[in-house]
């Protein structure tokens, strides 16, 4: 068993509430329980390759539990196994510089690495594990679409933001008899729209897993009008598609590992509805990055702490190449190979993503209380 005397932390991918809770849990458990050192690499794997890091002790993580984002900052453009290296002629060539990162870990005396991130970041964690680095992964995404864990931290805080927004929009919709379209994140999965819309009293929920028919949405508005409810609230995932159609691409970011940026499907639905129901005013709101920020919810603070402490325990027990997970009410672990590997992940999925089950309990509950999915 490799002796762990110093632990490194990396936060990669998009920020979300709960990251600081994980950092807090890792640092406090490492220092208090095991008396080992902790360092945090800044801006994801870029900090590892550039020797940019900060020492983490009890004072450094004091007071950060409730804060959104990450005190280590983050990046989603630094895959060290396919890293953009500028050549003398100004061109960019992608190279595998992971061996250099491994050397940096040894030079700094980092014996174990805890990597906090989504599918791309955890794929790098798996690849470093294959190189012999002692690695533990911690799942992070507000979309809640990572397989092998019931929920990821950050999701709950985002739902609170969405519910709060729908509560506020509800009053305006009622006051002016308007149809309000609210777009939320969710590229391939509709967890945010589904659970946020269910708790936020949406009348129509549009998710990627259930392609929509704009005329079915019109029918729902007419049904509410006939019932005397002359306003309608529609929540839509950014990755939603019409039947037989494609996702709405907002832009392409060429220097990112994931070049496609979605967004704007809510605006398209709004414009279509305004033509089909001219007797109503139809308004569009995109919550965008509001969903990533804010004070971390109680659930995400607790989950982040438990994930962080368990990650440290695994390293100290000599267990590596694992991802911590929540199954039921228990924190456990599963090999990274089973999460981001090429084999069967045992979940309803597209591209390794955990998707909403179209006949699952949440969808059935929504349908039972009269919510339309535009189908």
**Could you list the active site residues?**
143
CA gap 238, 78 in Å, rounded:
25
The H helix count followed by the E strand count for the chain is: 12, 17
Closest to 124 measured CA to CA, from 259, 304, 321? 321
Backbone angles phi, psi at 54, to 5 degrees: -135, 145
Q: Tally the C-alpha atoms within 13 A of residue 267's C-alpha that lie toward its C-beta.
A: 10
Residues 6 or more apart from 263 whose CB is under 8 A from it? Answer: 183, 238, 248, 250, 286, 288
At 331, is the secondary structure helix, strand, or coil?
A: strand
Retrieve residue 73's tokens.
Answer: 């900052």
Residues 6 or more apart from 126 whose CB is under 8 A from it? Answer: 135, 137, 321, 336, 337, 339, 340, 341
Backbone angles phi, psi at 21, to 5 degrees: -65, -40
H-helix segments, 131-154:
none
| Strand stretches in 150-308, DSSP E | 179-184, 204-206, 232-237, 249-252, 260-262, 282-286
Contact 116, 71 (CB under 8 A): no
Contact 53, 8 (CB under 8 A): yes
CA gap 185, 299 in Å, rounded:
20
Q: DSSP string covering 14-46, please?
A: S--TTHHHHHHHHHHIIIIIH--EEEEETTTHH
At 342, is the secondary structure helix, strand, or coil?
A: coil
């Amino acid at each position: 068993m490799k002796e762990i005397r110093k632990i490194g932390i990396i936060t990669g991918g998009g920020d979300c509430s709960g990251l600081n809770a994980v950092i807090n849990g890792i640092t406090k458990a490492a220092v208090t329980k095991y008396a080992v050192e902790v360092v945090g690499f800044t801006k994801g794997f870029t900090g590892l390759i550039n020797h940019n890091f900060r020492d983490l002790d009890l004072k450094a993580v004091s007071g950060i539990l409730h804060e959104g984002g990450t005190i280590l900052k983050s990046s989603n453009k630094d895959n060290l196994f396919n890293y953009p290296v500028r050549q003398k002629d100004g061109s960019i060539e992608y190279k595998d510089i992971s061996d250099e990162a491994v050397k940096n870990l040894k030079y700094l005396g980092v014996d174990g690495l805890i990597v906090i991130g989504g599918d791309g970041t955890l794929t790098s964690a798996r690849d470093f594990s294959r190189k012999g680095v002692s690695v533990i992964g911690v799942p992070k995404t507000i979309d809640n679409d990572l397989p092998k864990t019931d929920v990821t931290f950050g999701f709950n805080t985002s739902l609170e933001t969405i519910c709060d927004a729908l509560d506020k929009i509800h009053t305006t919709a009622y006051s002016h008899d308007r149809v309000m379209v609210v777009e939320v994140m969710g590229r391939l999965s509709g967890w945010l729209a589904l659970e946020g819309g269910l708790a936020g009293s949406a009348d129509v929920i549009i998710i990627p897993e259930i392609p929509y028919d704009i005329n079915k949405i019109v029918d729902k508005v007419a049904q509410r009008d006939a019932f005397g409810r002359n306003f309608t609230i529609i929540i839509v995932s950014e990755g939603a598609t019409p039947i037989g159609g494609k996702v709405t691409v907002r832009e392409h970011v060429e220097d990112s590992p994931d070049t496609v940026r979605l967004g704007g499907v809510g605006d398209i639905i709004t414009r279509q509805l305004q033509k089909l129901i001219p007797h109503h005013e139809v308004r569009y709101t995109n919550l965008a990055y509001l969903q990533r920020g804010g004070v971390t919810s109680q659930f995400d603070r607790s989950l982040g702490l438990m994930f962080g402490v368990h990650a440290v325990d695994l390293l100290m027990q000599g267990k590596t190449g694992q991802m911590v997970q929540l199954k039921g009410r228990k924190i456990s672990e599963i090999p990274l190979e089973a999460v981001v590997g090429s084999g069967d992940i045992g979940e309803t999925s597209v591209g390794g993503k955990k998707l909403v089950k179209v006949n699952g309990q949440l969808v059935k509950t929504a349908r039972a209380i009269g919510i339309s999915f535009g189908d």
